[in-house]
Chain A
Amino acid sequence: MNSKEKKIWIDFTDLILWDDHFTGTQRVTYEIGKRFYENLPRVSFFAFDDKSKKFYEVPFQKINERILEIKRASETESDTSQSKPSLKKNLKLVTKKVYLSLPFEVKKRITDDQKAFIKKTGKQLLSVLSLARFSSTKNLSKLIKRLDQIRFNQNDVLIILGKPWDNMFIIKELRKQKLETNFTLVHLIYDMIPVFLPHVFGKPVPKNYTEYMFEAMSISDHLVAISESTKKDIKRFCDEENLPYKPTTVIKLGDSFSGLETDKKRLSELSPKDFLLCVGTLEIRKNHILLYTAYKEGLSRGVQMPKLVIVGGKGWYTNDVLYEFENDPEMKNRVFIKNNVSDRELAWLYKNCKFTVYPSVYEGWGLPITESLAYGKMCLASGSSSMKEIAGDLIEYFSPYDSAGFLELIIKYLDEDILSKKETEIKKHYKSTNWDKTFQDFVKVIKY
């Protein structure tokens, strides 16, 4: 092949290192990457190895088999990471065992301050161990042997679809090669939330994310935002950091995922139409506290609040609200927190909920809203950031800081007539975006 010919390189680092549940970012990378491979000539895939700080070519077939396997597992099995005892759990168990084995006289002498110290030390140990585990899984060369090392050429177009922001080495290496060969870099940006809402993330994230975006935007030739809101935030970031604002195109991501079979075996406590559904990681940004407050207010007013199913793994700073949900007697048998559902179980939940709720403070897009609509379900969503772009007037919105307004909307849609009318409207008017359309839009960006 003529090396001067235009060649498309798609970053599969996220995919090749992923051995967990198949989630949003991996799905986006895979669905778009696969279509590039199937529809265009001279498309290759690469991954970055942290250890050697080099890029390697990844044969699509090889990775595709593995992805399909993970995808199948995601559809039918619960989250594998949840079934294994976590590092944190193990550490807690060991500490507890050691404590229990101590003679009573010794236990008596341990002060609260000393207990706090042990807890703090444990946390520090946990973070060190987690980092060590993270680094070892990030070693690409251990996973894929005999890959070809690559250097990009001037006519190459590189597309980054994943979220490599937790690895500054990749952007450093890209910058270095870009300075040498000046290839074209197209970067998909999901959101700028850690930059503008640093308080909803753990300490290292905002700084790392900001630095990554700073470099990524400096060296990218074209940016693709997943919403107008993200595009606006990119512009804001560039203005604030005095960065040159690169051409930015908004491309809607595919959201056609309503064809899955359903599975209810492990959801015996639920019946069709007797629960509300909230999907999204349990993290401070997703604003579950508003849900708790609205529910409590509803109950205090004597409203027959339906069951509430919260689906999502545990994320940043949610211990307090989780504690409230799990220990509030009024919430017992009313709120179910599910952090290990399979895609098929999720499909059952979507199909059978009354409606969905999404009180998130800020989003780059708002996938659970799209999913809800794809299943023909009404969604009460926070009206901030990108969320109004998804369905416009088709659904209703509330302020993410207004629990009373949120409760009023919940009460409104507990009325079957109003809900059913809305569902008919959604089924009639909501148009899903298919991945082929997303792919075609990408092709336009790279002017292939």
Chain B
Amino acid sequence: MNTEKKILVISNYPILEPLHGGQKRVAAIVKEYKKVFSEVKFVAIFVREQYPIYSKDDIYLTGEWAEKIKGNYLTSDIEIGKAMVESPDTRRKIEKLLILFQPDIIQVEQVFPFIGLKVILKDLKIHPKIVYSSQNIEAPMRREIMEISGAKKEDVREAFSVINDTEIYLAKNADLLTVVSKSDGDCYLSNGAKKYVLAMNGTGPIISNSNAKLYWKKYFQQRFVKKVALFVGSGHVPNLFGLTNMVGFRVGFIPSDSKIVIVGSVGQALSDHFDKEDILNSPFWRRVTNLGVIKREPLDGLLEYVDVILLPIIKGGGSNLKTAEAILSGKKIVATSFAFRGYEQFLKLPNIWIADTHDDFRKAVSEAFNTPTKKRTAEDVKLANNVKWDSSLKGMIAEVAKL
């Protein structure tokens, strides 16, 4: 499959050095498109304070818009969408890009870039095919996060309305709708979409790093920890709730030779969101270690070293890239069924425990610690490989190429 079409992918974060799930997904999409389309361009419309690493094609907001958005993590993506039209400097750069590149297809990653793009395309009177690449059903999730974070009611209402309207518009009017899970797709169908293509979140190959693995082996041996369960998560509220609801603060069920290791900003968020006394007065940290944010290489080594991967996800939209990584790793997995939405086909693989209540989850963690890892059959390995990006995005790429 090869096509002469030119495709432009727009998102509101750069992908030069992808860290979070969204960045990884877009980077993978761009990489896969480059194998198929003759010209692929990616541009991020973003604020530098939030993403200091970017490429020369990316467009960062300047002046008062940059100032306005800088510290606003709750609605900065909506503001970026508005700035695409209202910030003259930004609008000029986007218009120049569209005129010079003349894309046949524009893929908007999540709804936010389309808030501005819709106006610009109309004003420029150009009509490329639009691919709406959804990562989740954003509007209700954003409303919940803003409410939990104590945002003003009118701000919550406005954010919900802008996102919801754009999501529905795109579901109905985009030339192609791609979703990460069947449940998201069905939701869009009920909101007026005619069809959708499933483009499951995937993962890159796990790069074996024997030095990093050895480092972790020594690290845990020195601490007399024989078994490790890993939870990787950003400070995103659903991650935090998943961890505290499914694992909880009372961690005596973890044997004294074992630990839960938290990687990512979720550990910091734990201290920020909860009454410190709750954690300090319980022996939580005697069985849980917070490693904070660590780089890709040591994380790969850690993924290789650990015994169990925890996916205690109970909220949030879309699907979880961590699930894809866990599936590919072949490690024992303890997860909620929510964490496996979009990945249901992989549940038949061995070494997976699904638990949806706090009690079941901790029982499953104990059981996973005490159960030897079953070796995967050739068939299992083949199935697990479907979670790699080249497989997971195949259907979407074929449909986009037909546009």
Contact = CB atoms under 8 A, between A and B. Distances in A.
B252 A242 contact: yes
Contacts of B256: 175, 179, 215, 218-219
Contact of A179 (B224, B250, B251, B282): B224
Interface string B209-238: 000000000000000101000000000000
Contacts of B224: 175-176, 179
Contacts of A215: 256, 283, 286
Contact of B282 (A217, A238, A241, A244): A241
Interface in B5-57: none
B281 A198 contact: yes
Contacts of A257: none
B250 A241 contact: yes
A179 B226 contact: yes
Contact of A242 (B253, B257, B280): B253
A210 B250 CA distance: 12
Contact of B362 (A210, A214, A242): A242
Contacts of A393: none
Interface in A10-67: none
B255 interface: yes
A218 B255 contact: yes
Contacts of B283: 210-211, 214-215, 241
A240 B283 CA distance: 11
A206 interface: yes
B277 to A, nearest CB: 10
A207 interface: yes
A385 B373 CA distance: 47
A106 to B, nearest CB: 42
A214 B286 contact: yes
Contacts of B251: 241-242
A207 B281 contact: yes
Contacts of B280: 207
A215 B251 CA distance: 11
Contacts of A243: 252-253
Q: In the complex, which range does the number of interface residues on chain B fall in?
A: 10 to 19
Interface string A238-271: 1011111000000000000000000000000000
A243 B254 CA distance: 8
Interface of A is mostly: helix
Given A176-B224, A215-B286, A218-B252, A210 B281 contact: yes
A241 to B, nearest CB: 4
Contacts of A176: 224
A217 B362 CA distance: 19
Contacts of A244: 252-253
Nearest to A176: B224
A73 to B, nearest CB: 39
Interface in A201-235: 206-207, 210-211, 214-215, 217-219
Interface in B251-302: 251-253, 255-257, 280-283, 286
Nearest to B255: A218
Contacts of B253: 242-244
Nearest to B253: A242
Contacts of A240: 250
A211 B286 contact: yes
A240 B250 CA distance: 7
Contacts of B248: 242
A209 to B, nearest CB: 10
A214 B252 contact: yes
Interface string B293-325: 000000000000000000000000000000000
B257 A179 contact: yes
A238 B362 CA distance: 15
Nearest to A238: B252
A46 B291 CA distance: 36
B203 to A, nearest CB: 32
A175 B255 CA distance: 11
Interface string A183-212: 000000000000000100000001100110
Most buried by B among A198, A207, A238, A241: A241
8 contacts: A179-B226, A210-B281, A210-B282, A214-B286, A218-B255, A241-B252, A243-B252, A243-B253
Given A175-B224, A210-B283, A241-B251, 15 more contacts: A179-B226, A179-B257, A207-B280, A210-B282, A214-B286, A215-B283, A215-B286, A218-B255, A240-B250, A241-B250, A241-B282, A241-B283, A242-B252, A242-B253, A243-B252
5 closest cross-chain pairs (CB), A and B: A243-B252, A241-B252, A214-B283, A218-B256, A242-B252
